[in-house]
Chain A
Amino acid sequence: DSGVTQTPKHLITATGQRVTLRCSPRSGDLSVYWYQQSLDQGLQFLIHYYNGEERAKGNILERFSAQQFPDLHSELNLSSLELGDSALYFCASSVTQGRAFFGQGTRLTVV
């Protein structure tokens, strides 16, 4: 158990809908990273938050947004969902830059 909790584990939704993925980092970790993993794209960095502030953005679509709350949990919002958004979404947390601990992921299926 990495100490990083992601909910829900599985999510099935229709095209055009909006979903929210939640991540609770390890106790004391200030950094939260979000990743998308699909078969043909590998593990793609989406966004990094540190203590409530956005630190870095990857190739995150405009339809996607994230935030980190004062209690350090983070949410990834995906809207206007398309079939191609089906993927595993991971969050990871770390104390600072360095070793990151990953959650078990949320498997999103868009139908």
Chain B
Amino acid sequence: SQELEQSPQSLIVQEGKNLTINCTSSKTLYGLYWYKQKYGEGLIFLMMLQKGGEEKSHEKITAKLDEKKQQSSLHITASQPSHAGIYLCGADDNQGAQKLVFGQGTRLTINP
């Protein structure tokens, strides 16, 4: 089945700095989702990418899908304390089994 690997596993950045989180799939990506989770809480949907080369932005967060590399990246510009949390990428299992699987997550800490 499909596996998603995120890097880095954790990230500490100074407030105001830019950062990038990567998500690499073991199989072809047909759709990818980015979620954010505050510790111990539910997941909040950020963005969905469906086509190779697609790029979406929401406020200071931009996500891209590179279908050829089976990879997606999440970029945060001018990070703020409100960006802190765990970022998870998810994808539909492309074997048609309709599993929505997730990477291990990237824990982001923003230092003031």
**Which residues on A are within 8 Å of B, measured CB to CB?**
2, 4, 31, 33, 35, 42-43, 45, 48, 50, 55-56, 58, 88, 90, 92, 94, 97-105, 107
Partner of B40, one of A35, A48, A103, A107: A107
Tell me which residues across on chain A come within 8 A of B99, comparing CB atoms. 45, 48, 56, 58
How many angstroms from the CA of A100 to the CA of B102 in the assembled complex?
12
Residue of A48, A100, A103 with highest tally of chain B CB at under 10 A: A100
Cα A98 to Cα B100 in complex, Å, equals: 8
The contact of A104 among B41, B93, B100, B105, by CB within 8 Å, is: B41
Instruction: Report which B residues bind A (CB closer than 8 A).
Output: 31, 33, 35, 40-45, 48, 88, 90, 92-93, 97-105
Given contacts A56-B99, A97-B100, A98-B92, 4 further A-B contacts (CB under 8 A): A42-B102, A50-B98, A88-B40, A90-B42
Q: Which residue of A lies closest to B99 (CB)?
A: A56
Task: Write out the residue numbers on chain B whose beta carbons fall within 8 Å of the beta carbon of A43.
Answer: 43, 88, 102, 105
Question: Least Cβ distance of B8 to chain A in Å?
Answer: 15
Give the shortest distance, in Å, between A31 (CB) and chain B (any CB).
Answer: 8
